[in-house]
Amino acid sequence: MKIYFAGSIRGGREDVEIYLELIRYLNQNNEVLTEHIGDKDLSVDGQTELSDAEIRKRDIDWIKEADLVIAETSNPSLGVGYELAYAEKINKPVLILHNKRTKLSAMINGTEYFKDINYYSSIEEARHILGEKVQNYL
């Protein structure tokens, strides 16, 4: 299965270790199109070798290509919110992971389309959620 993994870049990289662990886990049995989200060397400046328009086009193409969008939403990000809205627009399945340490945006939590919202406290719990849920999208 092809997965579009969404996580904060310009909104802050505080959760990059979590993204990396989740992407590694998902890559065991799937193809994560957005592995760069877990790159510890990727700063809040993002991918500076590409223009913003090129990044947007590439990411939209990847969302269209993906079988599933998985978003880690604990660190608020305009980009992740946009990606989720785009996935909803094209009726792409979405699974959301959110750490219990923060409150999820009402715009995400209050959207009927996002039915698969999962709260976790540890990386082990997040991996367990993915292990149970991702196969349901096959």
Q: Which residue has the tokens 């947007």?
A: 56
Residue 107 assigned as binding residue: yes
User: CB burial class (10 A; 0-12, 13-18, 19+) of residue 26?
Assistant: buried
d(CA 77, CA 7): 8
Residue 106 assigned as binding residue: yes
Residue 51 dihedral angles phi and psi, to the nearest 5°: -75, 160
Residue 1 assigned as binding residue: no
List the binding residues.
19, 83, 105-107
List the binding residues for substrate.
19, 83, 105-107
